[in-house]
Copies of this chain bind each other. A is one copy, B any other.
Amino acid sequence: MSNNGGLPAFPFSLEATDGRARVGRLETPHGAVTTPCFMPVGTKGTVKGMLPTDLERLGAQIILANTYHLALRPGSAVVRDLGGLHRFMGWEGPILTDSGGFQVFSLLDTADVQDEGVAFRSVYDGSRHLFTPERAIAEQQALGADFIMCFDECPPATRDRSLVERAVLRTTDWARRCREAHLGAGGQGAGGPQMLLGIVQGGTFADLRRRSAEALLEIDFPGYAVGGLSVGEDRESMLQSTKSTVDLLPWERIRYFMGIGDPIGIMDMIALGVDLFDCVLPTRVARMGTAFTKEGRLNLRNARFKADPDPLEDDCDCTACRSFSRGAIRHFVSQKEMLGAQLLTEHNLRHLFRLVDGAREAIRERRFGEYRRSVSAGW
């Protein structure tokens, strides 16, 4: 493990590139991650409907959990005392926790944001809490993920420039405090070293993005995330803002785009040189009856699938496609049987993992542009 001014930095090496797109290898204390990599989200400590062994079988390399939720239920100290987040989730591979910032700002209209931190009421019981940068780091240290995130202010990307500008300043200040707090603990969580990533904010304002990125680069993090996008702005603005941000980041460090999970968006991100991405989309739409396929989305609630004997996709090797007809899946979805959600979740994740596997292969063979076009053509 290398070292970033005292902060743990897990070894990251680039193995192949094709334009901005890159294949890398990230060595964590819980195993290696080959990038680009889609990270499934286990909000409350579980990717809904999936056993950890299912995730491993499907090809998941690293999964997420949400600090906001786990800090409130069952409590980060409880998770720590139960043996840490890996033991809690039954997942021996790498884990990343967000800082809670996004939830604090998106789940609650009542959040009171001050320079000190954010006061808010729990969605669980209405109790009052104050999340500061220091507390966000302490919670994440107690949880014990491999990757932890700076606490940031996340205004909607399309809000007034003045609000976004204030969020950038605050996020910069909080990033400094997060770094200090983590350094103060020797970069260690309850279960070992944790790599802390900075988050670039700035909405869709190019100059604010630049200001945020430059300030974070000066503070110096072993890796960087692009935050505050994919929250309602148009796709073109999102890509433009991501591009200008990523191009400011150091080539040799890991880049994480927060919140993208549709096949085209994932291809876009890979094309821009993003290494990690996550989203609840594939698992959430699965629970609503939607399957990802090469030809776009299938809504299995549709009556036309009632007697359809075909699998979701011909060449997919997931449990849904190997063992079930569309008609059967439609039945389980219609009847709200857990199996419907389980099968579609498994399928959507497997679909994305295969898609990203293909992207890595294409980058290695310097034909990523063509691969990306072929993926987009179906959607």
Contact = CB atoms under 8 A, between A and B. Distances in A.
Contact of A337 (B46, B323, B331): B46
Contact of A53 (B73, B74, B319): B319
A48 B339 contact: yes
Contacts of A325: 82-83, 87-88
Given A90-B328, A332-B45, A309 B82 contact: yes
A1 interface: no
Contacts of A73: 331, 334-335
A171 interface: no
A52 interface: yes
A228 interface: no
Contacts of A54: 51
Contacts of A198: none
B306 A44 contact: no
A341 interface: yes
B319 A90 contact: yes
Nearest to A89: B328
A142 to B, nearest CB: 13
A44 B329 CA distance: 12
A339 B306 contact: no
Nearest to A326: B82
Q: How many copies of the shown chain assemble into the complex?
A: 2
A337 B87 CA distance: 17
B337 A78 contact: no
A52 B309 CA distance: 18
Contacts of A273: none
A11 interface: no
Nearest to A336: B44
A341 B88 CA distance: 16
A126 B90 CA distance: 44
A369 interface: no
B328 A82 contact: yes
A248 interface: no
B48 A309 contact: no
A81 B309 contact: yes
B332 A78 contact: no
A81 B327 CA distance: 10
A191 interface: no
Contacts of A265: none
A49 interface: yes
Nearest to A88: B328
Contacts of A52: 319, 323
A315 B374 CA distance: 51
Contact of A319 (B44, B48, B51, B308): B51
A87 B141 CA distance: 47
A374 to B, nearest CB: 31
Interface string A46-83: 10111111100000000000000000011000100111
Nearest to A335: B44
21 contacts: A44-B331, A44-B335, A44-B337, A46-B332, A46-B339, A48-B338, A49-B342, A50-B339, A51-B54, A51-B339, A52-B323, A74-B306, A74-B327, A81-B307, A81-B327, A82-B325, A82-B327, A83-B325, A87-B325, A90-B319, A90-B324
Interface of A: 44-46, 48-54, 73-74, 78, 81-83, 87-90, 306-309, 319, 323-325, 327-328, 330-332, 334-335, 337-339, 341-343
